[in-house]
Amino acid sequence: MANICRLDSRDPGFKATLSQLLKVDAEQDDAIEAACARILREIKAEGDTALVRLTNQFDRMNISRATELEIDRHEWLAALNSLPRLQRLALEAAAERVRSYHQHQRQNSWSYTEADGTRLGQQITPLDRVGLYVPGGKAAYPSSVLMNAIPAKVAGVDEIIMVTPTPDGIRNPIVLAAAAIAGVDRAFAVGGAQAVGALAYGTDTIPAVDKIVGPGNAYVAAAKRRVFGTVGIDMIAGPSEILIICDGKTPADWIAMDLFSQAEHDELAQAILLCDDRAYLDAVEAAIDRLLPTMPRADIIRTSLANRGALVLVKDLQEACDLSNLIAPEHLEVSVADPDALLPLIRHAGAIFMGSYSSEALGDYCAGPNHVLPTSRTARFSSPLGVYDFQKRSSLIQVSSQGAKTLGAIAGTLADGEGLHAHAASARFRLKKVFE
């Protein structure tokens, strides 16, 4: 039996219970912080020497030179060629769909010219070099390689450097195959805070990058936070979440399995269903009880649903949308007959899955949109990983001699008001023509 919490939005204590349920403990661990600070200091000071020492220590390897960490491209291609045919086709099909979707996100430079000849705009350029962290061990997901590397390549990033820990020297062939498909340029068998440090500061072997993306454990997250500013980083992800708004017309088994597909990630994952039909919630609860024993990861799912899941009876679908905006979920399934009617009511969500056929799992792998999404209510202010994360903008300002007169007068007045006299003088110098 699953033990998932049943709530009713009409209950007086509902809001308090919900906010308790949503709470995530984001405390930073002092021991991890201290270890990361030390590791980053060592990498910065000693470069490859520290990288070799720390990798031998943490990943139980036995290398003597940092160059041994590079994973040769022949090995990726061998990994790709050794994949079962179906798996390779699926990876390639997913990559192609992800690439095709992200091409819609490419932004172009723009400018406009004013009547007096002054030209204004923005020049949009790709980042030069990006580091991609890929976890080792159980959480080594080839789909994550595709989702992080492809938008960078679509943006025009010149070089993607992948790092992935290989404890005991064991390399994951599916990850290497995915790297080959996604267009990764170089790969190194190194992980943890030491890999983040090497990417941020550069060593003789690992080139410094401009931004580091990709998921990782608490050490990787802490190290990314610390190097932010030296390099760009993507979001630090919290536990994964799904919120489902259902009108009671989707098969209950489908919705139960969608909740499972989130809950199976880990014990902290969150799966919540909002519905205005009590009988349907009963049906989903029954489906959960019936389907749970068939799941290989039943224990994780059971814990996740018991601690962080909920089946919530709402007054109507409008209220469901209001609650969804409060929760600002990473994944939102709008599993209703007419999702377009609700879409304008949705203000915050990482990804919106519209209609009963749009299960989150399709988005995780191959629908096309990115599966790296804002968690823990950050969809209120942040966006899915995208091509725009690998492009940056430079303002363009080309003032004509006539424009310099108009603008110089305004800037002069404002600079005077702020007591910045060199600003004022610099603006006013341009009121006269060159060599006048």
Least distance in Å: CB of 55 to a second copy?
A: 25
279 near a second copy (CB under 8 A): no
Report the alpha-carbon distance of residue 387 to residue 106 in Å, rounded.
Answer: 6
C-alpha 318/C-alpha 341 separation (Å) is 10
* Residue type at position 303: T
Tell me how many residues contact a second copy (CB under 8 A).
Answer: 123
CA dist 197 and 220 (Å) reads 10
Considering the complex, what minimum distance in angstroms separates the CB of residue 159 from a second copy? 13
Select the residue interacting with a second copy from 17, 217, 303, 400 (CB under 8 A).
400
| Residue 365 binding a second copy, by CB under 8 A | yes
Please give the residues from 200 up to 219 whose contact with a second copy meets the rule CB under 8 A.
210-211
Residue 304 touching a second copy (CB under 8 A): no
The yes or no reply on residue 424 touching a second copy (CB under 8 A) is yes
3-state SS class at 163: strand
| Cβ distance to a second copy smaller for residue 50 or 255 | 255
Shortest gap between Cβ of 63 and a second copy (angstroms)? 29
341 binds a second copy (CB under 8 A): no
The interface with a second copy within residues 223-242 (CB under 8 A) comprises 229, 231-232, 236
371 labeled part of a ligand binding site: no
Contacts 24+ apart (CB under 8 A), 296-300: 297/264, 300/263, 300/264, 300/265, 300/266, 300/267
Q: Which residues contact 27 (CB under 8 A, 6 or more apart)?
A: none
Asked if residue 197 binds a second copy (CB under 8 A), the reply is: no
User: What is the nearest approach in angstroms of a second copy to the Cβ of residue 138?
Assistant: 8
Indicate which residues carry an active-site annotation.
330-331
Residue 133 binding a second copy, by CB under 8 A? no
From 38-46, 62-70, 115-123, 194-202, span contacting a second copy (CB under 8 A) = 115-123
Structure tokens at 125: 């350029």
- Helices 173-182 and 142-155: crossing angle in degrees, nearest 10, is 20
Stretch that binds a second copy, among 43-51, 62-70, 251-259, 307-315 (CB under 8 A): 251-259
Alpha-carbon torsion angle 64, 66, 67, 71, nearest 10: 100
Instruction: Return d(Cα 267, Cα 282) in angstroms, integer.
Output: 23
How many Cα atoms sit within 13 Å of 417 on the Cβ side? Answer: 6
Q: Which stretch binds a second copy (CB under 8 A): 45-53, 69-77, 119-127, 191-199?
A: 119-127
Which residues make Cβ contacts (< 8 Å) with residue 365, sequence separation at least 6? 94, 143, 371
Stretch that binds a second copy, among 48-56, 59-67, 256-264, 309-317 (CB under 8 A): 256-264
364 marked ligand binding residue: yes
Binding positions for substrate? 240, 262, 265, 331, 364, 418, 423
